[in-house]
Structure 1
Amino acid sequence: MSDSASQIQQGLHGKSMRRVVLGSFAGALLEWYDFFIFGTAAGLIFAPLFFPESSPSAGIIAAFATFGVGFFARPLGGLVFGHFGDKIGRKVTLIWTLAIVGTSTFLIGCVPDWHSIGIWAPILLMALRLIQGFGLGGEYGGAALMTIESAPKARRGFFGSLPQAAASVGLMLATGVFALCTHLLTQEQFMTWGWRIPFWLSAVMLIVGLFIRLHTDETLDFQRQQSTSRTEKTPLPIVTLFREHPRTIWLAFGARLAESVSSNVINAFGIVYVSTQLLLSRDVPLTGMLFASALGILFCPLMGWLSDRIGQRRVYLLGAGFCVLYAFPFFMLLNTQHALIITISMVLGYNLGPTTMFAVQPTLFASLFGTRVRYTGLSFAYQFSSILGGMSPFIAATLLLMGGGKPWLVGIFMMAISLISFICVWKIKEAVASQVRQTICDQTTSALR
């Protein structure tokens, strides 16, 4: 076996692997930082700034609607960038997604409020959110694949979890920047211009992220795929995906719902529930999520390491099962209105639930699809399921209103979605085995011909 072939089989090592991980982490960090600052801003300040003529409850629902609308653009971005990621490469595609996300986030911080330009304020906010969502749609699948497809097969769970840890770093940075701004600025200063600072800071991460990604190599799996299929005429990746993986793609879609919904309920909606419904200081839930995300930075690779030993599917089942059982206790702990208990509830909920699933999600999903449709497969499952996840704060706020201010309908919603995901993950092993049998059968038939 040649050195090149051996490297592809075994994965990158040393300096090359560190560069790939750093490039994936930097892009994922910008993605999640941008994601969380918009969600935090939507919960805390967008209602009075962009929807001042609505009642407080209606204003929050409208603000969360702008948060959710970006998720409707993400599937389109996932399909477009998934196509190019599978056709021309992961690296160049991720450079484009990073540029789109970073630029649109910076411009969101420049949008005048309602008092300056009236109805055009929420229109511009929504338009930029749609552009941001389009770029985010292509980011997730590629950022994860950059490390997974270059790592040794026996350690792909661990290496695949490292870019996922960027979600906790992004959440910690977003929460920390907002908390710092609220501490250092007066309420008037924060509402006038201070809220824009977190959005403008994304420009710094954009420049650093682009520099790193420009100096990162293409993944080994994609290089191998390209070297063996240059002369083949292949159909569109999305066509191949649904032709070869019709059942698996929908199981991956369903499996992802619990992570997306629980994360947004615990984080974005949880912060709003504590600060507006329980009437506690914004510092209480922000501090809780700050601790939760800080622990998540370590917890994510720990779950990745564990998954290399017991399997990604088992770890994912643990996270989904926890969300089923924790839906009601989470709100019961919040309702104590005790700062320490609220912090503990957010730390437990965020890490044992969505973070556990999120850590192993790309490695589990990547194993379900072949290299030539893997970017498209991950993007489809992730981004289409993100529509419900992105609308979760809006749905939760509506359910809270329907429940007369009581969160039990929200708990039922979170429990039901988590149960669906648990069942889908349980069925994944059966679907993969069936797919392998079908592939062997097709190959045997082809050989006989």
Structure 2
Amino acid sequence: MAEISATTRRPGLKVAVMASASAAVEWYDFFIYGTAAALIFPHLFFPADLPLFVAQIASFSTFAVGFIARPVGGMLFGHMGDTHGRKRALVAAMLIMGVSTVLIGLLPTYAQVGVWAPLMLVALRFVQGLAVGGQWGGAALLAIESAPASKRGLYGSFVQAGVPLGVVLANTVFLITSASVSDAAFMVWGWRIGFLVSVLLIVIGLLIHFKVAEPDAPRKDAPKAEAPKIVVRRRSPLFQAVRSHWREILLAGGTFVANNTCFYVAITYAVAYGATSVGLDRNLLLGAVMVGSLVMVPGLMACGALSDRFGRKGIFLIGAVVSGGWAFAVFPMIDSGSPVQVVAAITVQLLFISLMYGPQAALFAELFPKSIRYSGASLGYQVGAVVGGGFAPIIATALFARYESSLSISIYLTAMCAVSFLSVILLGQRLRQGMAE
């Protein structure tokens, strides 16, 4: 992509900020489900006579369904984004996410409709997964393709920052709601508020539709002779991506498993572990996740900017090493019961993850030519999401139940970091500071 002139940089920054806002609210919708899956759904959407461990596994399984759907969403919206434009695909994903999240907030419980409750929950979680599978590629490419060539890492990190901002929004809503009503009222209707306010995502989607320009939109006076070339090139971007760039897609997925696994264990499983196994206060755990997420926002932007200066590969590799090492400190610090250590455990983990996640949007975009970039980047991202994040809370829960020790979870996290480290090494020369047209 050509260098953007000084006169267009401010619009590019505006696009990056708008993309970050869309990502924050979309991820809020996705993460508020994760918080509810850890604290609320085991009690409301499954039989009351189930052991808590079984209900928790079942609840985390519905959480994982969203990750299973994400590659499908990546394919659907990737094709749409490569053939009809990034903005159109992003707005469609946002509208679908907003509607499905509101509907979750209106669901009846198991006590009211029996087995239909978890079935409807799973169906709507699947739709959420489809939407978020398409959202990331659209938001990231809107920001990166509108950025100066020397600042793609920084502009891409704005979209990455939407993830911790979404976590903060989700946990803030839960904390405010739980503090405002009694525990009984919270379990009956208070938890629904967080899902219903996601109607804001629909509003942001409409703002993007009307206020944000498509990057490198073709001119209306473009020569007609170019039309056949464009049609052929965009006929099946998904097929072209899989056929000609399958190695990049798989290795991109491999680079993502570490930060995705460590992230979801830190913000979802750690909450359940601290509350049920250690007996810590729920608000302390949610507060620790919020503090870590707030610190992660500038951390992501700093790491994205560093990758512009020193290259994506080295920053990413450092992140994989330190994240794997810190995995052995997280759970002993939570076990201590000290609020300071609990907050530090999660905050440092999220900062180390930022070394990988900050440069990731630019790294993925630079792996693929423009005609298949939405499809290729989305597939790589979502393949890593399924392997790394979707089953992480379930695997962590099962490991702790089997070995009765958090050490097994730390080894699991370190193994995922090793996979990402190796994937970055194997990408080798494919990691470049430029984007093919």
What band does the TM-score fall into relative to the shorter chain? over 0.9
- Mapped partners of 1:322, 1:361: distance in 2: 17
**Alignment match of 1:197 (pick from 193, 198, 223):** 193
Provide Cα deviations, 1:151-200, integer angstroms capped at 9, x if missing partner: 11011111111111111111111111111122221110110100001111
CA separation of 1:373 and 1:229: change in aligned 2, threshold 3 A: farther
- Mapped partners of 1:27, 1:409: distance in 2: 37
> Is residue 98–residue 210 contact of structure 1 (8 Å, CA) maintained in 2?
no
**Alignment match of 1:21 (pick from 16, 37, 40):** 16
Is 1:58 aligned to 2:57, yes or no? Answer: no
CA separation of 1:11 and 1:91: change in aligned 2, threshold 3 A: farther
Name the structure 1 match of 2:227.
230
Name the structure 2 match of 1:264.
264
- Mapped partners of 2:316, 2:218: distance in 1: 30
Cα-Cα RMSD: 2.0
Name the structure 2 match of 1:419.
418
Is 1:37 aligned to 2:35, yes or no? Answer: no
**Alignment match of 2:122 (pick from 109, 123, 126):** 126
Residue identity opposite 1:230 in structure 2? A
> Is residue 247–residue 431 contact of structure 1 (8 Å, CA) maintained in 2?
no
> Is residue 289–residue 343 contact of structure 2 (8 Å, CA) maintained in 1?
yes
> Is residue 23–residue 213 contact of structure 1 (8 Å, CA) maintained in 2?
no
Tell me the SS of whatever aligns to 1:161: helix
CA separation of 1:348 and 1:264: change in aligned 2, threshold 3 A: same
Name the structure 2 match of 1:169.
165
Q: Indicate the larger mover: 305-314 or 264-273.
A: 305-314
1:280-295 aligned at under 5 Å gives the runs 280-295=280-295
- Mapped partners of 2:338, 2:154: distance in 1: 36
- Mapped partners of 2:292, 2:6: distance in 1: 33
Is 1:410 aligned to 2:431, yes or no? Answer: no
- Mapped partners of 1:153, 1:252: distance in 2: 21
Between the aligned residues of both structures, percent identity stands at 35
**Alignment match of 2:42 (pick from 35, 47, 57):** 47
Q: How far apart are 1:421 and its partner, in Å?
A: 0.4
Name the structure 2 match of 1:444.
none
Is 1:306 aligned to 2:294, yes or no? Answer: no
Provide Cα deviations, 1:215-263, integer angstroms capped at 9, x if missing partner: 210012x649x98963222351122213332322221111111111111
> Is residue 78–residue 380 contact of structure 1 (8 Å, CA) maintained in 2?
yes
> Is residue 30–residue 102 contact of structure 1 (8 Å, CA) maintained in 2?
no
Residue identity opposite 1:19 in structure 2? K
- Mapped partners of 2:57, 2:143: distance in 1: 38
Q: How far apart are 1:399 and its partner, in Å?
A: 1.1
> Is residue 27–residue 132 contact of structure 2 (8 Å, CA) maintained in 1?
no
1:33-432 aligned at under 5 Å gives the runs 33-51=28-46, 52-220=48-216, 223=218, 230-232=227-229, 233-234=232-233, 235-353=235-353, 355-388=354-387, 389-404=389-404, 406-432=405-431
Q: How far apart are 1:329 and its partner, in Å?
A: 1.2
- Mapped partners of 1:413, 1:15: distance in 2: 43
- Mapped partners of 2:340, 2:77: distance in 1: 43
Residue identity opposite 1:104 in structure 2? S
- Mapped partners of 1:160, 1:397: distance in 2: 33
Provide Cα deviations, 1:375-395, integer angstroms capped at 9, x if missing partner: 001110111221121111111
- Mapped partners of 1:12, 1:286: distance in 2: 43
- Mapped partners of 1:184, 1:229: distance in 2: 61
- Mapped partners of 2:7, 2:260: distance in 1: 31
CA separation of 1:381 and 1:96: change in aligned 2, threshold 3 A: same
Provide Cα deviations, 1:41-88, integer angstroms capped at 9, x if missing partner: 000110001112311000110000000011111111110110111111
- Mapped partners of 2:398, 2:421: distance in 1: 25
> Is residue 250–residue 383 contact of structure 2 (8 Å, CA) maintained in 1?
no
Structure 2: gaps spanning 5 or more residues:
none
- Mapped partners of 1:160, 1:11: distance in 2: 18
- Mapped partners of 1:432, 1:246: distance in 2: 15
- Mapped partners of 1:366, 1:126: distance in 2: 32
- Mapped partners of 1:286, 1:422: distance in 2: 30
Provide Cα deviations, 1:106-142, integer angstroms capped at 9, x if missing partner: 1111101111111111111111001111111111111
- Mapped partners of 1:299, 1:342: distance in 2: 19
- Mapped partners of 1:342, 1:131: distance in 2: 34
CA separation of 1:12 and 1:375: change in aligned 2, threshold 3 A: farther
Name the structure 2 match of 1:445.
none
Q: How far apart are 1:431 and its partner, in Å?
A: 4.2
Tell me the SS of whatever aligns to 1:37: helix
- Mapped partners of 1:414, 1:12: distance in 2: 45
